[in-house]
Amino acid sequence: MMAPSKKNISDPAFKYVAPSDLRFDPSNPRFAGVSARYSQDQIQDALEKEPHYAVQLVDSFLENGFIDYEPLVVRHEGRHYVVVEGNRRLAAIRHILANREKYADRSKRLADLERIPVLVFPERSGTQNEKEQRVYLGVRHLFGFRDWPAESKAR
């Protein structure tokens, strides 16, 4: 019988973090390269509008909170985490938290959004880490996540 393996220090880890500790990934292919020069606030603004429509997620978060079994996928980078998968969800959550007074009477779940679930890939370079992220994300996309707008795919 094989002994159970110990968790590899470089394995992804599930945890809860404050949205303020998360950063949008300006190199996310969904943005088609145009956001590489954008600030985090500019990316937030772009995600809320066409063609990404992150604000469409607001009602769901107000009604249901954040569903723990669909964590954001992030990579650890310095003192922050960069969102690899889930930029729209982060934008919706930040929108809600920035407009608390607007949503306070519509939801009892605002406090649930103070710390949200993430799957943290370790801060390390190399093709193995990138491959692990691609495999994980590929499996997630097989189960029906929102398509990218055609214009973003084309770029």
pLDDT digits (tens, 9 = 90+) for 32-56: 666 678 899 999 999 999 888 999 9
CA gyration radius for the chain? 16
What is the second-level CATH architecture of the domain 13-147? Alpha-Beta Complex (3.90)
Q: Where are the domains of the chain?
A: 13-147
pLDDT digits (tens, 9 = 90+) for 69-109: 889 999 888 889 999 999 999 999 999 999 999 998 887 88
Of 21-25, 27-31, 149-153, which range is least confident? 149-153
Query: Measured in whole angstroms, how far is the alpha carbon of residue 114 from the centre of its chain?
Result: 14
Q: What are phi and psi of 9, to 5 degrees?
A: -60, -20
Give, in order, the Cα–Cα distances in Å from 123 to each of 17, 21, 130.
Answer: 16, 15, 11
Residue 117 confidence (pLDDT) above 90: yes
Q: Count of CB atoms within 10 A of residue 49's CB?
A: 11
Write down the pTM of the prediction.
Answer: 0.76
